[in-house]
């Protein structure tokens, strides 16, 4: 990843895909996508700080995946 912003975008997209896979019964594939998101997250320490800011957004935004 070139930047923290790119990493955060990739993680959010990955989480949306993983959530879709989970809801459609493809749990093993969802787990693999979540694992890839964690690998990206741990490779970008600054991304963790950025994602913490998103956790403070009210839960009134159903289109964003929950991080907790």
Separation of alpha carbons 34 and 16, rounded Å: 10
- Would residue 62 count as lying in a domain? no
Residue 49, pLDDT above cutoff 80: no
- Would residue 60 count as lying in a domain? no
- Would residue 47 count as lying in a domain? yes
- Would residue 44 count as lying in a domain? yes
How much is the pTM?
0.65
pLDDT at 57: 52
Token pair 């700080």 in the structure block, residue? 49
- Would residue 24 count as lying in a domain? yes
For the chain, how many structural domains are there in total? 1
- Would residue 11 count as lying in a domain? yes
The domain of 17 spans: 3-55
- Would residue 26 count as lying in a domain? yes
């Amino acid at each position: 990843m070139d930047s923290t912003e790119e990493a955060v975008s990739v993680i959010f997209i990955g989480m949306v895909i993983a959530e879709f896979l989970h809801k459609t019964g493809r749990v093993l594939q969802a787990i693999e996508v979540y694992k890839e998101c964690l690998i990206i997250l741990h490779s970008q320490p600054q991304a963790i700080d950025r994602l913490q800011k998103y956790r403070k957004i009210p839960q009134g935004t159903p289109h964003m995946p929950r991080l907790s």
